[in-house]
Chains A and B, each alone.
Chain A
Amino acid sequence: MNEALTVEGLKVYYRTEKGTVRAVDDVSFSLARGESLAVVGESGSGKSTLGLTLIRALPANASIVSGRVYINGEEILSLSLSDFRRRYSWRVISMVFQGAMNSLNPVLKVGDQIAEPLIYNGGASRGEAQRRAMDMIELVGLPREFYYRYPHELSGGMRQRIVIAMSLVMNPRILILDEPTSALDVTIQAQIINLVKDLIEKLSLSVMFITHDLALASDIADRIMVMYGGQIVELGSAERVLGEAPKHPYTEKLLASIPRLRGETIPEFIPGRPPDLASPPPGCRFHPRCPYVFDKCRSEEPPLFKVGEGHVARCWLHGE
């Protein structure tokens, strides 16, 4: 079996005052073993909800309406939460949460925070857990003595390294990273990205990298999955999506909106705003902002059309 993770027909809705928000609306994809998949989208695209679903950490007002998620052939959404936490959380699939570097417990030594799941979830003795935590601290490029530091004594980049060490301490096979560098300066971001690249290779991790930044995605991703309004709008290899012309107008415009340091292109913008997922527009969800819109886009929702080898796009430009 070559898939580390398979998602089929996943729908995750939030109950809010405004009504039902369809944050993830019929999403299917798989992550191959050892593969890095970037999930790219803007705020409200459903990318973070997707990540939270996969590690069963959705907030209370979210519900999984339908869909299945398989890891190692086992469906994990139907497991009881305690069973999932005992057998999967941290040890098979783990996540670096967005903003986690600012959520470390300020009164605990960072080493103890890394060691915690080993003791309470892994049955390790205090001494073993401490040694393993120090190994992890070294693995993420910090001195072993940092075990005894408190979060406020560390810079943002160092805290992010600690958070990555925490996510890897139980030796998971699948790692979800949600915007791990968005709060960091670009110089520190480069250091963290290089570390993540090293770790993926050293530990043969399968990685889902959630980001709003296509340039950052290209640093890590074998494949790129672009989300818009709770749906996948384009999915394909990095070479196809970024190298050749993107096949979905949203991807094309998102790419064109990135300010470049080199070359002559002037960044564009996408007029309008992302759809309100409590009442998404009929037809294609991107149609109110799409420069290529035609009649059919306003009334009928496009499926994912095959546009190349392993490359799909949700756009009527590519099908009947």
Chain B
Amino acid sequence: MEEVIRLENVKKYYEVRSGLLGSKILKALDGVTLSIRKRETVAVVGESGCGKSTLGRVSLRLLDVTAGKVVFKDQDISRMKEEELRAKGFRKKMQIIFQDPYSSLNPFMRIGDIVAEPLEIHGYRKEEIREAVYRALEDVKLVPPEEFVNRYPHELSGGQRQRVNIARALVLGPEYIVADEPVSMIDASSRAEILLLLKSIRDSREMGVLYITHDIATARYVSERIAVMYLGEIAETGLTASVLKTPIHPYTILLLNSVPEPDPANRRKKRPVIRGEPPSPLNPPSGCKFHTRCPVATERCRIEKPALIEYLPGHFVACHRALEIMSGAVSVT
């Protein structure tokens, strides 16, 4: 199927001042390769600071890349300037849905005007705008649209507001959408509704979606493929079903283990934990970046950085001990 976006060995470095004259390099993304096809959702999961939001912004060219390539439908947009991105229509084709449905909508604007704004900026005609706004509101199930266009954000619930955000992202007819934690601030009882909605719109509008989340359980229901990130790198990636059923990287295994399920037996046992906290990306560990927290790290892991290798069909892992873990010779938990 047709590829919408491709990242090739993308690096995003920041220079961070430290001390009076010195500066350090913060490697927010350190060589990430990823592609998303039409009608496909790729979930990027990881702890805060792993680089997943940076990845989303770099893929949209909201941030410049330090090295590597960002390719949108076979066109390299890595070094394009803002005017060129706009003039060639890339800005219309790529959109983002933000995490916070409360601060991302102007409280003084009506819903109809909020959703219409991107069209006005891009110089559409009145009739076109009305039609596109109504269609977008229908797509996100804010129906009938004529009832919602005149309302203000404060009249809506968190879930409804997030649907306005989605409608605003849809209105220009994008082919690629980044959804950055779209449900983490929404009440639990409405989350599934938003996620299922995103999935059905993705299919009907034939988009590719990058779903950024810290909640690996939601990734299971919306994504075909998943990438687990740690300190700016992909630790494991593959079909969502394969990664969740047969996790290989110790980080993925421990991350999955730390997700709670509602079970009254939980209170009689300790939650499995990953020891320590993610190290500072300003001073990342040598070798495999996870070795400082990994229960099965060896001397080699401290020295040599593991490559991302395909151990199962379409399932890649960056771990020196992957084969031993797969065979059961080594147990992570």
Task: Report yes or no: B262 in contact with A269, Cβ–Cβ below 8 A.
Answer: no
Confirm or deny: B190 has a beta carbon within 8 angstroms of a beta carbon on chain A.
yes
Task: Report yes or no: A269 in contact with B193, Cβ–Cβ below 8 A.
Answer: yes
With A258-B262, A261-B244, A266-B221 as given contacts, are A191 and B192 in contact (CB-CB < 8 Å)?
no
Task: Report yes or no: A186 in contact with B255, Cβ–Cβ below 8 A.
Answer: yes
Inter-chain CA distance A42–B159, complex, in Å, is 13
With A190-B271, A242-B262, A259-B218 as given contacts, are A270 and B47 in contact (CB-CB < 8 Å)?
no
Q: How many residues of B contact A (CB 8 A)?
A: 41
- Over the window 71-103 of chain A, the binary record of Cβ atoms lying under 8 Å from chain B Cβ atoms (1 yes, 0 no) is 000000000000000000000000000000000
**Complex contacts, B48 vs chain A, CB 8 Å:** 156, 185
Inter-chain CA distance A259–B193, complex, in Å, is 12
Interface with B: A54-62, A219-227, A307-315, which one? Answer: A219-227
Task: Report yes or no: A219 in contact with B260, Cβ–Cβ below 8 A.
Answer: yes
Minimum CB–CB distance from A187 to chain B (whole Å) comes to 5
With A42-B188, A261-B217, A269-B191 as given contacts, are A187 and B273 in contact (CB-CB < 8 Å)?
yes
Inter-chain CA distance A270–B255, complex, in Å, is 28
With A190-B258, A260-B261 as given contacts, are A212 and B187 in contact (CB-CB < 8 Å)?
yes
In chain B, residues 250-268, which have Cβ atoms closer than 8 Å to a Cβ of chain A?
254-256, 258-264, 266-267
Task: Report yes or no: B263 in contact with A242, Cβ–Cβ below 8 A.
Answer: yes
Confirm or deny: A288 has a beta carbon within 8 angstroms of a beta carbon on chain B.
no
Interface with B: A117-125, A127-135, A249-257, which one? Answer: A249-257
Q: Closest residue of chain B to A43, judged by CB?
A: B187
Task: Report yes or no: A218 in contact with B187, Cβ–Cβ below 8 A.
Answer: no
Task: Report yes or no: B261 in contact with A42, Cβ–Cβ below 8 A.
Answer: no
Minimum CB–CB distance from B218 to chain A (whole Å) comes to 5
Interface-central residue, B195, B244, B263, by most chain A CB under 10 Å: B263
**Complex contacts, B331 vs chain A, CB 8 Å:** none
With A42-B187, A218-B266 as given contacts, are A257 and B192 in contact (CB-CB < 8 Å)?
yes
Name the contact of B277 in the complex, choosing from A188, A193, A237, A268 (C-beta under 8 A): A188
Minimum CB–CB distance from B141 to chain A (whole Å) comes to 10
Inter-chain CA distance A194–B270, complex, in Å, is 6
Inter-chain CA distance A173–B260, complex, in Å, is 27
Q: How many residues of A contact B (CB 8 A)?
A: 49
Inter-chain CA distance A273–B163, complex, in Å, is 14
**Complex contacts, A270 vs chain B, CB 8 Å:** 189-190
Task: Report yes or no: A238 in contact with B264, Cβ–Cβ below 8 A.
Answer: yes
Name the contact of A260 in the complex, choosing from B158, B189, B217 (C-beta under 8 A): B217
**Complex contacts, A273 vs chain B, CB 8 Å:** 157, 159-160, 190
Task: Report yes or no: A267 in contact with B191, Cβ–Cβ below 8 A.
Answer: yes
Inter-chain CA distance A190–B258, complex, in Å, is 6
Q: Closest residue of chain A to B48, judged by CB?
A: A185
How many residue pairs, one in A and one in B, have C-beta atoms under 8 Å apart?
129
Confirm or deny: A217 has a beta carbon within 8 angstroms of a beta carbon on chain B.
yes
Confirm or deny: A155 has a beta carbon within 8 angstroms of a beta carbon on chain B.
yes
Minimum CB–CB distance from B269 to chain A (whole Å) comes to 9
Confirm or deny: B224 has a beta carbon within 8 angstroms of a beta carbon on chain A.
no
**Complex contacts, B273 vs chain A, CB 8 Å:** 187, 190-191, 194
Inter-chain CA distance A36–B157, complex, in Å, is 32
In chain A, residues 34-62, which have Cβ atoms closer than 8 Å to a Cβ of chain B?
36, 42-43
Q: Closest residue of chain A to B49, judged by CB?
A: A185
Minimum CB–CB distance from B267 to chain A (whole Å) comes to 6
Name the contact of A185 in the complex, choosing from B192, B193, B195, B214 (C-beta under 8 A): B214
Confirm or deny: A213 has a beta carbon within 8 angstroms of a beta carbon on chain B.
yes
Task: Report yes or no: B217 in contact with A190, Cβ–Cβ below 8 A.
Answer: no
Confirm or deny: B287 has a beta carbon within 8 angstroms of a beta carbon on chain A.
no
Confirm or deny: A214 has a beta carbon within 8 angstroms of a beta carbon on chain B.
yes
- Over the window 175-199 of chain B, the binary record of Cβ atoms lying under 8 Å from chain A Cβ atoms (1 yes, 0 no) is 0000000000001111111011000
In chain A, residues 125-149, which have Cβ atoms closer than 8 Å to a Cβ of chain B?
none
**Complex contacts, B47 vs chain A, CB 8 Å:** 185-188
**Complex contacts, B261 vs chain A, CB 8 Å:** 215, 218, 258, 260-262
Task: Report yes or no: A155 in contact with B277, Cβ–Cβ below 8 A.
Answer: yes
Inter-chain CA distance A67–B187, complex, in Å, is 29
Q: Closest residue of chain A to B184, judged by CB?
A: A182
Name the contact of A269 in the complex, choosing from B158, B190, B254 (C-beta under 8 A): B190
Confirm or deny: A274 has a beta carbon within 8 angstroms of a beta carbon on chain B.
yes
Task: Report yes or no: B191 in contact with A215, Cβ–Cβ below 8 A.
Answer: no
Task: Report yes or no: B260 in contact with A216, Cβ–Cβ below 8 A.
Answer: yes
Confirm or deny: B326 has a beta carbon within 8 angstroms of a beta carbon on chain A.
no
Task: Report yes or no: A215 in contact with B262, Cβ–Cβ below 8 A.
Answer: yes
**Complex contacts, A43 vs chain B, CB 8 Å:** 158, 187
- Beyond A185-B47, A261-B256, 6 extra complex contacts between A and B, CB < 8 Å: A186-B47, A186-B259, A191-B273, A219-B266, A259-B215, A274-B157
26 cross-chain CB contacts under 8 A: A155-B277, A186-B47, A186-B259, A187-B47, A188-B47, A188-B277, A190-B260, A190-B274, A194-B271, A215-B260, A215-B261, A215-B263, A218-B266, A220-B267, A237-B264, A255-B262, A258-B188, A258-B217, A261-B256, A266-B192, A267-B192, A267-B195, A269-B192, A270-B189, A270-B190, A271-B193
> Sorted from nearest, which 8 A-B pairs have the closest CB atoms?
A269-B193, A238-B264, A273-B157, A267-B192, A190-B271, A270-B189, A259-B217, A269-B192
